[in-house]
């Protein structure tokens, strides 16, 4: 990648000589994290030469070097080797994470991630609302006691996903940084894609995750009973015969949402809709409805005689429902059984991602068997562990054509 990098061998070597390998590694790591430097700004060979010395790099070539394997690794200072491994690991992690958080993974950015140290099926406790039990108390009468009701949901066991990026002697000596970064990008992208799919499946309640939390699915598991996300009882969050055509269809879904009641008190649940989830097939229609500044109503239909009333008024959507964010993805149509269904509500209240650990990397120890058997100098492992879960289905309404 000559001519495009922001940092070269001389700068690296100068930093190592003046700051030492530890402070240089810290400086480069912080610059990568702050995105002042990018993975593409580095050369694996130049990094190795700066930290380990050119003799160490030359000895990676079987025909030019006198030794390889354990002797090569021991020929350099152990501290320098450790820091060289750390900075290459950070370079790869930065590339993986950037693609793991690709802009098109919209659901991953809206749905909250909640840390959890419980790896197996987890109970999330709560307390049912007491409701409006306030009544008039007469003079000298005793105040009533308010009771509480145990409430809880359960989420499935966390599942681990990840992969390994090996760094071979050919990659360092031949300076195949670009190929390794391309592999990192693919690992990060597909790791992020996998999470995005699981979150979408939780929103639409379809595909492999559409099963009980006991069976490691995303479904709402409330007080020991598993429910599909969209049901007509014990709550009703399905609006049938409601294809997305104009503002009245959003009104129908909104009315269904505001009619949702608390299972303990019977009071309406105060959910402010924030998201309008649509497939690409409904995207233009959704934009047109929300961007409309005027709606026209004909009282009496389209008759040609009689005293007809033709009313023009500002669109009521923003004033009544608020500023809705249109959430769409090309993945939705592929994963949803019908591309005309759409959802209205608050994704951040309805779905959550419970994470045992976020995207992280680990380095294999030096002198591993892979060094001799496969000429692998370093191995960097990336993984994440978590599960998507429906935590409040009453915060979403699904409309069906």
For residue 212, the model assigns a pLDDT of 96
For residue 67, the model assigns a pLDDT of 45
Burial string for 40-58 (b: 16+ CB within 10 Å, else e) reads: ebbbbbbbbbbbbbeebbe
DSSP designation for 174: T
CA distance 209 to 197: 10
Beta strands in 69-158 (DSSP E): 113-115, 122-128, 149-155
Domain count along the chain: 1
For residue 145, the model assigns a pLDDT of 66
Nearest to 180 by CA among 103, 97, 91: 91
Q: Determine contact, residues 356/336, Cβ cutoff 8 Å.
A: no
pLDDT tens digits along 203-241: 999 999 999 999 999 999 999 999 999 999 999 999 999
Query: How big is the CA angle at 76 (ends 72 and 81), to the nearest 5 degrees?
Result: 100
pTM: 0.84
CA distance 356 to 162: 14
User: φ and ψ at 389, to 5 degrees?
Assistant: -145, 140
Q: Determine contact, residues 371/377, Cβ cutoff 8 Å.
A: yes
Residue 331 belongs to a domain: yes
Residue 268 belongs to a domain: yes
Burial string for 100-136 (b: 16+ CB within 10 Å, else e) reads: beeeebbbbebbeeeebeeeeebebeeebeeeeeeee
Residue 31 belongs to a domain: no
For residue 372, the model assigns a pLDDT of 62
For residue 83, the model assigns a pLDDT of 83
Q: Determine contact, residues 128/152, Cβ cutoff 8 Å.
A: no
Residue 180 belongs to a domain: no
For residue 143, the model assigns a pLDDT of 79
- Cα atoms found within 13 Å of the Cα of residue 381, Cβ hemisphere only: 9
Residue 273 belongs to a domain: yes
Nearest to 383 by CA among 104, 118, 158: 158
How many CB atoms within 10 Å of residue 197? 20
Query: To which H or E segment does residue 50 belong?
Result: helix 44-52
Residue 286 belongs to a domain: yes
Query: To which H or E segment does residue 218 belong?
Result: none
Q: Determine contact, residues 12/47, Cβ cutoff 8 Å.
A: yes
- In the chain, DSSP finds a helix count (H) and a strand count (E) of 13, 15
CA distance 371 to 379: 10
How many CB atoms within 10 Å of residue 242? 23
Q: Determine contact, residues 217/192, Cβ cutoff 8 Å.
A: no
Query: To which H or E segment does residue 273 belong?
Result: none
Regions of the chain with pLDDT less than 70: 1-6, 62-79, 127-133, 145-149, 297-308, 366-372
List the domain range (segments joined by +) for residue 311: 235-351+393-399
Residue 337 belongs to a domain: yes
Using DSSP's 3-state secondary structure scheme, residue 162 falls into: strand
Tokens of 287: 């934009």
User: What's the burial of 293, exposed, middle or buried (CB within 10 Å: 0-12/13-18/19+)?
Assistant: exposed
CA distances from 5 to 42, 171, 181, 358 (A): 6, 18, 14, 30
User: What's the burial of 341, exposed, middle or buried (CB within 10 Å: 0-12/13-18/19+)?
Assistant: buried
Query: How big is the CA angle at 317 (ends 315 and 322), to the nearest 5 degrees?
Result: 135
Residue 102 belongs to a domain: no
CATH of the domain at 339: 3.30.2320
Tokens of 240: 């049938």
DSSP designation for 394: G
For residue 68, the model assigns a pLDDT of 45
Using DSSP's 3-state secondary structure scheme, residue 88 falls into: helix
């Amino acid at each position: 990648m000559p001519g495009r990098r922001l940092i070269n061998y001389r700068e690296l070597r100068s930093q190592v000589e003046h700051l030492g390998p530890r402070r240089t590694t810290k400086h480069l790591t912080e610059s990568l994290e702050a995105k002042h430097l990018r993975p593409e700004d580095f050369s694996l060979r130049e990094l190795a030469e700066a930290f380990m010395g050119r003799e160490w790099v030359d000895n990676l070539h079987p025909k030019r070097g006198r030794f390889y394997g354990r002797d090569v690794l021991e020929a350099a200072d152990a501290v320098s080797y450790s820091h060289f491994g750390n900075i290459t690991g950070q370079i790869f992690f930065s590339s993986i994470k950037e693609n793991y958080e690709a802009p098109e993974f919209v659901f991953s950015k809206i749905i909250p991630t909640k840390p959890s140290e419980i790896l197996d099926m987890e109970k999330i406790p709560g307390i049912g609302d007491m409701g409006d039990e306030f009544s008039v108390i007469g003079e000298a009468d005793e105040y009533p006691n308010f009771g509480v009701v145990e409430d809880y949901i359960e989420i499935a066991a966390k599942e681990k996903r990840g992969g390994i990026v090996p760094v071979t002697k050919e990659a360092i000596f031949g300076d195949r940084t670009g190929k390794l970064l391309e592999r990192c990008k693919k690992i990060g992208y597909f790791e992020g894609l996998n999470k995005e799919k699981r979150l979408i499946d939780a929103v639409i309640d379809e595909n492999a995750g559409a099963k009980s939390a006991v069976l490691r699915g995303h479904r709402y598991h409330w007080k020991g009973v598993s429910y599909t996300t969209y049901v007509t009882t014990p709550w009703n969050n399905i609006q049938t015969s409601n294809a997305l055509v104009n503002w009245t269809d959003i009104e129908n879904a909104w009315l269904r949402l505001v009619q949702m009641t608390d299972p303990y008190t019977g009071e309406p649940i105060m959910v402010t809709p924030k998201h309008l989830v649509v497939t690409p097939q409904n995207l233009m229609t959704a934009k047109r409805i929300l961007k409309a500044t005027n709606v026209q109503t004909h009282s009496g239909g389209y008759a040609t005689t009689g005293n007809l009333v033709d009313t023009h008024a500002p669109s009521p959507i923003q004033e009544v429902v608020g500023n809705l964010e249109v959430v769409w993805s090309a993945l939705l149509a592929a994963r949803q059984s019908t591309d005309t269904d759409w959802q209205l509500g608050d994704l951040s209240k309805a779905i959550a991602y419970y994470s045992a650990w976020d995207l992280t990397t680990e380095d294999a120890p030096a002198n591993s068997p892979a060094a001799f058997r496969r000429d692998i100098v370093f191995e960097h492992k990336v993984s994440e562990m978590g599960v998507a879960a429906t935590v409040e289905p009453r915060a979403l309404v699904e409309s069906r054509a």
